[in-house]
Amino acid sequence: MSETFIISSILAVYLAILFAIAIWSRSAAGTLEGYYLAGRKLPFWVAAFSANATGESSWLLLGLSGMGYLIGLHAIWIVIGETIGIWLAWRLIAPRLKLAADAQQSITVPDLLEGMLNDTAQRIRITAVVIILAMVAAYVSAQMVATGKIFSNFLPMDYQTGVIFGGVITLAYTAYGGFKAVAYSDVLQGILMLLALVSLPVVAIAAVDGDFWQAVRAADPLLLDVTGNLGWGLPGLIAVISFLSIGFAFMAAPQLLTRFMAIRSSGEIKSAARISVACILAFDLGAVMVGIAGRVLFPDLSDAETVFPTVARELLPAVITGVFLVMVLAAVMSTVDSLLILASSAVVRDLLQKYLRLAWSDSRFAAAGKIVTAIIGVSAIVFALTDTKVIFWFVVFAQTGLASAFGPPVICALFYKGITKAGALAGMIGGFLTSTLWSMYMKPYSYNLIEGIPAMIAGFGLIFLVSRLTRDDKQG
C-alpha cells in the first residue's frame, strides 16, 4: 500500500469518530443552553482537556514548535507563562465565574457581564459582540492557514485545497453537534496532542547523533541562550516578560471562560486544574523540544512552522505518520470549533435573542445557531484562502485582543466591588484598542513588547479611573 493511502485511511477513521461524537451530541443541541454550553453538565476531565485543547491548537504544534526551531530555549519562558496562566485561571477565575454564571443563568461572557453590572442599555453586550466577531475572524483565519500547511506537508494536496477540506470538516461537526460535540471531541484531540508531544521529542532526540545538547550547540549556540542573545538588559527583560504574559490569555479569553461556565459543578474545579496544568507542561515542553531537535536534524527549513510535520514525516513510518497528521489536524480543529461556537453564540444569544429580542422559541434559536455557525465558518475559509500570515504571531495577536478586551472587565467584575458598567465598558474598549494599535504601530519602538501588557494596563487603569468617576452609576 502507498504511503498516501495509509495516511488517508487513518484520517478517514479519525473523521468518522468526530462525526460519531457529533451525532451522539445532537440530543443536547436542541436548546440554546444545550447548543452553546452543553447544558452545564461537562465532567471535570472533559472541561480540563477542552480548555487546554482550545487554548493551544496549531499555535502549539506548528507555532510554538516553530519558535523552538528559531530561538531554542528562549521559548521556555512561554512554557512557564502558560503554566502559570492556566493554574491561575482554574484556581482564581473558574470558581467565582462558575458561581456567578449559574446564579444568573448566563450562557455567554457578555451575558455574565451585563447581568453582574446591571447594564440595561446593553452597551457592554454589543461592544463585546463586535470585538468577538473581529478577533474570531483573525483567529480562525490563522487556524485555517494551519490546515493548509498540514495537508500540503503530509499529503499530495495543495495549500488551498487543504484549507477548504479541513475547514469544511470542522464546520460540519461543529454546526451539527454544538458545544457538547466540541467539548468531547476536544478530549479526543487533546489526548492525541498529548501523545504526539510526549513521543515525537523522544524520537527526534534519539535521531540526533552523539550528545544531543552538544549537537544543538554545534547547530547554533544561541539556541541554548534563555535570553535569545538579548542578555539581561532592557531588551532581554522585555522579551522574557512578553513571553511570560502570553499565558494571561488563559485567564481571560472568552472561549476558555465558557469551559468554566459549562463544568458540571464548582466542586470539580480543583480536579480539572490538576489535569490542565499537567497537560500544559507536557504540551509546551514537547513542542519546544521538537523544534530544537528539528533545528539540528533539518537546519534548512524555509518555513520554521513546518518543523513538526517534517520531523514526523521524515522519522516515522507511514502508519505512524498518518497518526501524526491526525494529531496535528486535531490541534487545529480543537480551537476552530470552539471559536465558531463563540462567534455563533455572540450573534444568536447576544444579538438576536437579547439585543433584538426576537420572539422565537428556544429550539428555533438553537436551529439558528447551527446556521450562523455555518455562515461564519464558510466566511473564515474564504478569508484564509488568501491569507498566509505567520501562525504564531497571528494567533498571539488575536488571542491577546480577546484577552485584553475581556480580561480586565471580567476579573474586576469578579473581584472588584467598585466596578461600574461605565468603567467596564471603558476598560473593554481601551484594552482592545490598545492591544490592536500597539501591535500595528508601537511594537517596533518598544523592543517588541507584546501588546497584551500595555493593553492590560490600559484596561485595568480605565476601569478603576472611570469607575471612580461614575460610582453613583453603579446600580443605575
Complete DSSP assignment for 143-159:
HHHHHHHHHHHHSS--H
Residue 333 has pLDDT above 80, yes or no: no
CA distance 178 to 380: 18
With contact defined as beta carbons under 8 Å apart, do 196 and 285 qualify? no
In a domain, residue 315? The reply is yes
Residues with Cβ within 8 Å of residue 361, at least 6 apart in sequence = none
SS3 374: helix
Could you tell me if residue 447 is left (phi over 0), alpha (psi between -120 and 50 degrees) or otherwise beta? Answer: left
- Where would I find the H helices in 208-346? 212-219, 234-245, 254-262, 269-297, 307-315, 318-345
CA distance 336 to 395: 12
In a domain, residue 474? The reply is no
CA distance 187 to 181: 10
pLDDT bin (cut points 50, 70, 90) of residue 392 is low
pTM value is: 0.87
Which domain CATH number covers 372?
1.20.1730.10
* HEC sequence for 34-45: HHHHHHHCECHH
In a domain, residue 218? The reply is yes
In a domain, residue 440? The reply is no
**219-274 pLDDT tens trace:** 999 999 999 888 899 999 999 999 999 888 888 889 889 999 999 999 999 999 99
pLDDT bin (cut points 50, 70, 90) of residue 276 is very high
Residue 432 has pLDDT above 90, yes or no: yes
Tell me the residue type at 83.
Answer: T
Residue 186 has pLDDT above 50, yes or no: yes
∠ Cα 83 85 87 (to 5°): 70
**75-93 pLDDT tens trace:** 999 999 999 999 999 999 9
In a domain, residue 8? The reply is yes
In a domain, residue 429? The reply is no
Q: Tell me the three cell numbers of residue 14.
A: 479519525
Residues with Cβ within 8 Å of residue 329, at least 6 apart in sequence = 11, 14, 147, 150, 166
Mean pLDDT of all residues belonging to the chain: 88
Provide the CA 103 distance to its chain's centre, in angstroms: 27
Q: What is the pLDDT of residue 475?
A: 45
What is the full DSSP assignment across 344-359? Answer: HHIIIIIIIIIIS---
Residues with Cβ within 8 Å of residue 377, at least 6 apart in sequence = 140, 167, 170, 171, 174, 175, 336, 340
SS3 203: helix
For 143, the domain range is 3-391
For range 192-199, the mean pLDDT = 88
Beta bridge partners of 263: 42
In a domain, residue 444? The reply is no
For range 148-165, the mean pLDDT = 80
Mean pLDDT lowest among 64-73, 109-118, 398-407, 416-425: 398-407
Residue 63 has pLDDT above 90, yes or no: no
pLDDT bin (cut points 50, 70, 90) of residue 335 is confident
Q: What is the pLDDT of residue 96?
A: 96
**67-77 pLDDT tens trace:** 999 999 999 99
With contact defined as beta carbons under 8 Å apart, do 82 and 247 qualify? yes
Q: What is the pLDDT of residue 1?
A: 60
Residue 388 has pLDDT above 70, yes or no: no
Q: What is the pLDDT of residue 476?
A: 42
Residue 27 has pLDDT above 90, yes or no: no
Q: Tell me the three cell numbers of residue 253.
A: 479569553
pLDDT cut 90: percent of the chain above it: 53
Q: Tell me the three cell numbers of residue 163.
A: 484549507
With contact defined as beta carbons under 8 Å apart, do 311 and 200 qualify? yes
With contact defined as beta carbons under 8 Å apart, do 410 and 459 qualify? no
Residues with Cβ within 8 Å of residue 103, at least 6 apart in sequence = none
Provide the CA 384 distance to its chain's centre, in angstroms: 17
In a domain, residue 454? The reply is no
∠ Cα 270 272 277 (to 5°): 95
Number of structural domains (the chain) is 1
